Amino acid sequence: MVDGKADNKSSTPNMSAISNDVKITENANLGIGVENPSTLVDIKSNNINSGFRLIDGSEGEYYRLVSNLNGDAKWQKRNSVIVSQTEGSYSGLIFTTTLNYTGRYIILEPGEWMVRSNLLLRAFNSASPSSGAYARFSWAEHTNGEYIISQDVLFGKTFGGDYLLDYGIAKGATIIKNSSSEAKK
């Protein structure tokens, strides 16, 4: 044990005296400010923002420490909130049970995302003032020349809305996890 301030006056030092000590156990556990480190690296600090620092060139303000499956860690920019609006129109839809592509898409970086969707539904040439329909939407991927409902969707695979007369709104929240190493469209 290394007694940082040489303030361990007894064989059972108090917590204040331990706070500046470094200890390596017979199991190669390293403890800083810890009397009996229980993991390979065990750090205890009594002050916020003073227990751990990693400077490797990838750090930055408001970055977060992330690791891969091997435990390799690096600092990464937080892209937790992206506000994006995609406008467009799609017409000529004939209501069937098959999947129709609207021509609208988003691009998601790797990670988990909550996507909120709000779509204005408008029917042209309604047969009568009392006619209406229910429309259901899903996030899809273009694979081998066809659109399939995305397997990356963790929650909210479909959302929808109905309209009477000429207008309606479809809205929903979908959680999508892009597990790949690249952005997906």
Q: Where are the domains of the chain?
A: 84-185
Question: What is the spatial distance between Cα 69 and Cα 132, in angstroms, rounded to a whole number?
Answer: 50
Q: Give the contacts of 91 (CB within 8 A, at least 6 positions apart).
A: 124
The pTM (predicted TM-score) of the whole model is: 0.49
Nearest to 162 by CA among 129, 122, 134, 136: 134
Q: What does the mean pLDDT of the chain come to?
A: 79
Residue 141: per-residue pLDDT: 81
Residue 11 amino acid letter: S
pLDDT band at 138 (very low <50, low <70, confident <90, very high): confident
